Each structure stands twice: as structure tokens, then as C-alpha cells.
Structure 1
């Protein structure tokens, strides 16, 4: 028997009852409060006790597909609050206490909710997939079910059909269970699945999992395709924007990535960039914006960050730490504005740990625009160099926090592809990397100059110590392009330095040298090669092959000296 058609009057009555029940729940909470659980340490919970996997998407109409993308967006927000929650023995877990109220201001959008016999669009809709999975885990691990209610109607193919469902409705319809041992809950969204797991410190004692009673499924109407246009909840197909598009989440503009995006984007794709203005065009963020369905720019926060950087308002933060802080703020801004219907992301590596931690990768495919060594590899490399050269303190400077390293490592492993022009980085993930060609800038070949040009700065990771040794006793002038270090003259004492003004370095260069141990963006080397100037560099600089390029091993002073003698 089909339920009666909802009316505005019945909806008002329902809302009034819900408000009263919420107030009653609030009073009860004062007498018997439950608490929200903080994240625990996964290494303390080595044993997987139970797991529940459910698909994120099912074949539906175009409009229903939009609501499913909304559901997945809601799951992203909720999973971020559930992931790694540590539930001590004897404590009561409450779904709503852990999640909080799902509102638009907290990033929740319209998804599907089963109410009064109909599947309706509702902010926070779709979270029942999460409560169903948690109920299933509680049954599998022998938890005491403190509170659980089944859905009023059974959708064909849902957990309710097998009696393993738990409906929730803020805040008085809750799922609560109590555990007999310490547990760690993980909630992960892959591209296609919701994966919930409970981890423990010791094996489960043998339990008899109750067999829930199966329930008869029935046809459930949806507000998008039921055809009852007289219903006040009826949704017209044109009310929903088509879902399933892609988005580019970028930071600094690399011409190789800009060209790649222009080739790869399709109709409906979106661009999220740090800065966009018709009046001011900073080269660092000057992405081409034509051809995108939507362009979202974090112009105000980026401008404020630039002012802080320019006037030294970042306090005691190192330049690298300040850049990490700016990337985190940018990722947070993108997260708040990212369309829920986006199904694939192209993410700048600088944003990757933060986008991952925000939960924005869940339920989506994604590729990474890679610009530097992975943090884990970079830290290992710098630690090795710091131990090898203890007299070079800059090698032991800034290290990213552990959570950031872990988040980036996991996200890189799960990425569908890695996009980079950097040859060394491409070799780290050979099976899934698309190696782009470096884009040489336009330059007019000129007669060779008289200077050895070092892009700099005078840091150990850039090979400055090796270059200084190689130039010992040489009378050839050295021009350091990035020479803003405080002890510039002192460091290069004994070396024949050219004048400090380097604005004409390209005209003065006889050879450009970068014997770096770590180099992300070899832009000056590319400019030199484009102008026909010989370049001496290490494989760490990421340029694989060019007629004007001489490659030497990082740290090999003898090879560097011989290469300089030939150029």
C-alpha cells in the first residue's frame, strides 16, 4: 500500500513533533550525557575486528545522480569526524554526538532522506548509509546495542531489507552502542566505496552474531521522478546541476600544468585558483581561465597572505613553514566552495595533504600535479645529507608534521595518476606517471658572457658548498642570482664574485650551474637552455635530456670542476 501524498500541513506537524522530541532529548542528555571521542593512534590497534563495505553510487536518473553526489559529500564531512575515533571499553558511542548537526554552514548539502514513505532531498541526506554500516560493525563485534531504530520503509537492495539498518534523524533518533573493549573506528571513502572498520588491541572472544529478521522491500517514491507534480516536495529535473564533472585545484602556475589543463579539461570542468583579477595579474598565479564552467578564486585570503609575506608579518615562521600555512588556508577555502557534483580532481601537490585531511578526495577519482619530492622521501634525503654534512645546519631545518607526511603518502599511493614534467619525480611512480615536456620560455640566443651563473641560493641542498669548492683558486667571476642571504659575501669569500646586481644574468652568463641535491623548479636552467647557454646540473634538477645540458652526480666536486673547465 502506497503512503499518502505529503502535504504542507503534515510537514508542519512533523516539524513540530521533531522539535519537541529534540528538546526532550536535550533534557535527557543533561541527566545522562555521552561524549565525543577524540582520534586515537592506529599503531595501538593492530587487529582488524570487523569491516563493512558499501557502494557509494547506484545507477539512477540524472537528477537522482545529483542527489547521490550530495550524499557522498555528506559522507565526506561525517567520515572526517568519525575517522580514528577511539572508543574506550564501557563507553557509549553516539552517532549524533560524534557527528554533530548536519547543516549547510558545516559543509553539508542536499542528499536523499527517507521521510514519511518518500525519498526526499534534504540537507545531510544519505548519512543513514553511515549509521547502517556502524550498526553492522556493532553487531559483528558483539557490542551492546543501547539505541537503534529501523527505517519505516524498506528500499529494495538496502541494508533495511536484511534487517541490518539503523535510521537516524537529528538528534532524537540516534544509533548508540557500548563496547566491552577499547576500539578504534576508521571511516574511509575510496573512489567507489564507504569502508568502515573497527580495530582492537586483542582478538574478539567468540560471539554469536544475531541474525536480524529480513523485511519485505517495498516501492519507495522519490521526489525527483515520482511524477506527482501536485506534491509540494516535487523536484523538477532542471533544479539540479548535472553532476560528474572534474575540477582543477591549483596553486602556483606552472606553464606545463596550464597547458595540460587546457588539453585535458572537458565541458563542465571547474577551476579553483588562488587569485583572479581583471586588473592585477601576478605571474605566480596567472592561470588561463577561459573554457571552464566555473572559476573560483581565493583572491582575498591570497592577497592577505601576500601582504603578510611582503611586510614580514608571518612572525618567526620560516619561508617554507609560511608557505605550508598558506597552502593549508587555500585548501580550506577550496573545500568550502568545492561543488558536491565534482567526481574527479586534479590536485596541486602542495595542497594534497590538506585536501586529503579535509576529506575532499573521498568518493572521487583524482590525479596529482606533482612539483617536488614526496615529503617522506624529501625528509629521508635531507636527514641523510644532514648526517653526512653535520656542518651544514640548513639541511636540518623545517620538517613537515607527521600527520602531513602520512596524509600525503597515502594520497599519492591512492592517486590514479601522477602528472609532472620533472624526470626524477616521474621515476618514483613509473607505472602511473604522465611525464610532461618542460616548456622552454621564449629567448633570443646571445653571445656567451664571462660569468659562471649560479641560480642559488647559497644553501647546502642547492649544492652551494660543492660549487664553492670547485671554484677554489679560479679567477672566473661568479654571479649568484638568488643572493638575498645575510652572509652572502662571507660564504663566497675566496671566490671571484661578479657585481651583486643580477638583472642581466642571462647576457652575462657563460655557463649556468646548479649542482643541487634537491631542486623542484629549474626555471632559470630552462631559460638558459632556451637562450643557448650551456647548463651543468644534477639529475635532481629534473631535466632529463637536452643538447646543452651536462649532468653530474650531486656532491661530486671533481666532476663539477671538470665540467666547468669544459664550459
Structure 2
């Protein structure tokens, strides 16, 4: 293993640019201008050298770890101070680390190849989303766009030392930052583009960078038997106090300093961002109770706009409401061109969720340290790293993707003739991403009883909102019939309803299109009621395998109708609901018999 200083390419002139001015006097504008001029010269010099040599390039990220093992792990706290005055730049630093991690996580470096911090991260400027963070310059910790990335470079450097990587280039801080956890001799500063961190190894290696549980976690992986002898070791850094540190613009007290003005107007309090899509009255009511005056709402379209009636979220009382009507128009146009069911439609819905998540990420405030997010957007925000360094709650609409597909697999195994139960399955990476994100979530917010049971102590169980609507008495004339208030789909329990109707000789009142085979209901007397289904007598049955919004079952309950369904509907425990097992036509027959004995089928 090379020593920490071997191969260091720093010149004495370049190091002088990072020299510390005396902390006993205020920095001057002249010094700042002189620093800026010299740094531009060094930036051009490094750019020219990189262009001529061509030995450093950006490497592909997001590569799977596979069978490799971690040989070094470095963990450091994201927030090193609880001082209110330091919140903004600390939050900015975390946001900058979050962006930088996208260019670092999963990067794979071949033997002999030079890895460069700046080649991977790119220039930290506002146009790329970087914000003000903490930067050490001339003896002060000042607000600077892209500030705070030294925590990342320092963590990588310490991991590289532990993993036995060769240090091609590394620069030490000229002064430590208070409560930063810097370890003397094991830190590494960076400054675009001439103060870089560069690594190399005689073996293939890979890097994993994550912001999780309030920590920055850096891991170095390589093939078994490679790397340092002390493989698998972990360095855990704690925030410290050091008298020999750079003064911070947040707390130095030199209000007459020209740099102090850059701190003016910066917020000192965290906020929560609510990221929503499809409107649920239960979620809307809960959000109204939870939100604060400084919180932000990100939604597809405001209700006052043309087409906004589909999104009647409460928009009063927020600091800011961001919406994306152009996205809604595009999604609606694509949706109209697709069939009501099938793999192509499901792929389109997933694509739309990915696009909306990307839009929300770009407009997510850097100081939103807590996020409440709709479940459909969760896996994409998790994969993009937007939730790194943040806590979050999830508005749960349906079963997790893994559990959902398991239910559909069981249904398809029982009804392999179905044209819909096996027509689409999700990408494994998306399923795993949602699973990992749900494990990290603080709370699952949902009115669904089954999901609340899955969440355990993390569940926030909401009351279902009973819809308005009264049934007339005119068409309640049939006996021995049941109402099936859904499209004819296997996942809605159509096969079990058909089997029960054939066994009992009952009529089935349909409210939606037949999306299984055209001859699906052969041998069963059916009545096509359309939207008028509530006006037909009989118990309401929907033995679903999977369900997200049981609004029609709730409407039936609101009108005093008996409902027979499964746990997957999320209605277990409500008055008037009889729960049976999925796929159990015999249990449905028994339930219909019990309803009949109570006088509910006449």
C-alpha cells in the first residue's frame, strides 16, 4: 500500500492558494479577488493538463456489486452541529453530498485505472442543482455553492487508505472545520478542478456511497482476496470539538465582514415537502392536520386549472405549491391512446410515475429534511438518491410491489387461462428499490387495514372516508343475485364470482367491461348495469386478489349494503364487511348464505 503522501501532485504554488489567513483579522475584498484570480489560473492549468494527457475520464456508475466484498467502510455524521445558526449551510452541505453521490455510487474502476473525484462528480454549480454549503477558504468557513464536498472526499480518502488503494493525488485541509470529525493526516480537501483526489489500484475495485440514517456511508469493494489485509474494517467518525479550527461565517460574530452579507436572508429552520399525485380524501385530510406554514406541496395540477378537478388537494396555507400542468397534459394524452388494461398501459403508468418523480426531485427544496411521498413515486426517488439524508413517510395506496406480484402469481397459478393475471410483471430492481425504501420509511400512512398490519408499529391508520350517494328503490326487484361492482378481471375476483354463480344459479350484476375472454360469463345470467349498479338488489361481492382504492365497496357500505371481500381490499373490521380468503369460492358461497339468512339478499 502506498503511503498517504506518495504520488501527491500538489505544487507549492497551488497549495499557497489554500493558505489560511490569520483568524484574528477580517478577510478583505482584495484578498478574495486575488484568490479568485489565482484559482482561475490554476483551473485553466489543470484543464489544459487533463486535456493533453487524457488519462482521466468519467467512469460509469450504478454497476451492481455482485459477489465482491467490502474491504473498507467509513461512516460519518451528516449533521455535525445542532446550532440553529448553522442549519442552512449544514442542510446545503447535505444536499450537495446527495448530488455528488449520484456520480460516485456504484462506480467500478479497473486495475491500473486512475479514479478522479472531479471527473466523477463534475463541476458543482447552481445550474446543476448545487446550493450554498460550508467551504474552508483563507481561514474561514464561508458559504459557497457546492460547499461541503470535502466530507465526501475525506471519507473516500480514509476508505482508500484502509482498502490499500494507491493515493495518486491528495491535498490536506489547511485548517480543520469545527465539529467536522476530520482526522489529522486522514482528511482530503477538493476545490474545482485543480485540487483533486485521485486513486488507483493494481486490482479491480468498486465504490458505494450512500446517505442514510443521518450518516454518510462510503464502502470500498473488491474481489475476494484483494485489497488491504484488514479487509472489512470500519471507521466511524464522530463530530468533535477542536479549538484549532476555522471560524464560521454562521457564528464568528464579524458582522462587518463582506462575507457576512452572504448569510443574510438564509433560513434557519427545516421544512417538510409533501409529494402527491392521485387524490385520496383520507390523505388530504391527514396532510391538512400535519403540515406547517413553511412546508411545500408538490402536486400534478392545481384544482383551479382546466383538468385540475382530478386533483382537488387543499392548496391553502402552504408556503408554496408547485404544480406541473404540462406533465398532466402529456400523461392524459398518452393514457387516452392506450387500452383500459394490459401490459402496455402498466408500462405507461410506470413511465409517468418516473417522470413525475424526476420533476418533483428537481423542485424539492434542499432544506426539506423530511418528505411525505406518495407510494407510486417512492421507488424512483429512492433509486435517484433524492431521499438520501432525509427522513420520510409514505402515503401507502396498495400492497408493496413484491407482495402485490406474489398475490398475482398465486391467482395466475390458480387460473392459468386468464389473459390478464400474467400479462405484466415489474422489473426486479424496481421491486427491490421499493422494498428497501419502505424499510427505511418512518411511517406508513394509510386507511388500508391490511397495510397497517404489515407496517406494525410504524403504521398511521386513517379512517376511510365514506362517499356520498344514495341508491334509489326502483330496480331492487331481483332475488338470488349478487352485485359485482368492477370490471371483469381476474385480480378483482371475477373467477371466484363466476364459479359461485354457476354453483348457486345466481344472477350477477356487472358494472364494468369484460376484460377477460369474451365468453367469460357463459353459463351465468348477467345484468349489465353500468354506473347504475348500486340500484340493484343483492349483496356486493368483490373477492379481490389485489386492490388499491375500494371506493365502490365503501359506497355500498355507506348505503347499508352487505359487502363480501378479502383482506386485500383493506376494509377488514368495518361494519357490514365480511372477509373471506382469496380464491376461495366455497367461502364466498358460505358468506352469501350467511347474508341470506340475515335477510340481505331479498
CA distance in 2 between counterparts of 1:398 and 1:123 reads: 45
How far does residue 226 in structure 1 lie from its aligned partner after superposition?
2.9
Give the structure 1 partner of residue 15 of structure 2.
none
Equivalent position of 1:20 in the other structure: 41
Give runs of aligned pairs for residues 67-466 of structure 1, distance below 5 A: 67-203=89-225, 204-206=227-229, 218-235=244-261, 238-280=264-306, 282-312=308-338, 318-444=344-470, 446-447=472-473, 449=476, 450=478, 452-466=482-496
Secondary structure of the structure 2 residue equivalent to 1:162: coil
Structure 1 residues 315, 456: CA separation in 2 closer, same or farther (over 3 Å shift)? Answer: closer
C-alpha contact (below 8 Å) 2:373/2:395 kept by paired residues: yes
Aligned-residue offset at 1:315? 13
SS of 1:452 mapped into structure 2: strand
Q: Distance in 2 between matches of 1:308 and 1:371?
A: 23
Secondary structure in 1 matching 2:388: coil
Match of 1:553 in 2: 581
CA distance in 1, matches of 2:486, 2:455: 28
C-alpha distance in 2 between matches for 1:150 and 1:316: 58
Deviations 1:214-254 (A, max 9, x none): xx962422233333334332236651123312121111111
Unaligned runs of at least 5 residues, structure 2: 1-21, 234-241
Task: After superposition, give the CA deviation of every residue in 1:438-466 in whole Å (9 maximum; x if it has no partner).
Answer: 11112336548246321222221111111
CA, structure 1 residues 101+312, in 2 after alignment: closer, same or farther (shift >3 Å)?
same
Q: Displacement of 1:338 after TM fit?
A: 0.7
Which piece of structure 1 moves more, 292-301 or 279-288? 279-288
Coordinate RMSD, CA, aligned: 2.6
1:490 to partner: Cα distance: 2.5
1:8-87 alignment, distance < 5 Å: 8-30=29-51, 31-38=53-60, 39-45=62-68, 47-87=69-109
Task: Compute the displacement of 1:508 (Å).
Answer: 2.3
Which residue of structure 1 lines up, in the alignment, with residue 511 of structure 2? 481
Residue by residue, what CA displacement relative to the aligned partner does 1:413-460 show, whole Å, maximum 9, x if unpaired? 111111111111222221321222211112336548246321222221
| 1:53–1:196 Cα contact (<8 Å) kept | yes
Query: How far apart are the structure 2 equivalents of 1:222 and 1:200?
Result: 39
Retained in 1: the 8 A contact 2:303–2:310?
no
Q: How far 1:533 moved relative to its partner?
A: 1.4
Work out whether 1:491 is the aligned partner of 2:514: no
Task: State the 1:162 CA deviation.
Answer: 1.7
User: Shift in Å at residue 494 of structure 1?
Assistant: 2.6
**1:279 offset after TM fit, Å?**
3.7
Q: Distance in 2 between matches of 1:217 and 1:140?
A: 28
Please state if 1:531 is matched with 2:552: no
Displacement, 1:105? 2.1
Q: Following TM superposition, by how much is the alpha carbon of 1:345 offset from its aligned partner in structure 2, in angstroms?
A: 1.2
Count of residue pairs the alignment pairs up? 559
Q: Offset of 1:50 from its aligned partner?
A: 0.9
For 1:87 and 1:314, the matched residues in 2 are separated by 46
Residues 313 and 464 from structure 1, CA distance in 2 versus in 1: closer, same or farther, beyond 3 angstroms? closer
Q: After TM superposition, give the deviation of residue 341 of structure 1 in Å.
A: 0.8
Contact 1:426–1:434, Cα closer than 8 Å, also in 2: yes
1:486 deviates by: 7.8
Structure 1's unaligned 5+ residue stretches are: 210-215
Moved more, 490-499 or 112-121: 490-499
Indicate the larger mover: 233-242 or 529-538: 233-242
Which has the larger displacement, 345-354 or 152-161?
A: 152-161
Q: Distance in 2 between matches of 1:7 and 1:205?
A: 47
- 1:103-143, CA deviations, whole angstroms, 9 ceiling, x for partnerless residues? 22222111111112111111111111000000000111111
What TM-score results when the alignment is normalised by the length of structure 2? 0.87
Deviates more, 1:12-21 or 1:129-138: 12-21
- Scaled by the length of structure 1, the TM-score of the pair is 0.92
Offset of residue 397 of structure 1: 2.0
Query: Which shifted more, 110-119 or 221-230?
Result: 221-230
| Native 8 Å contact 2:86 2:268 kept in 1 | no
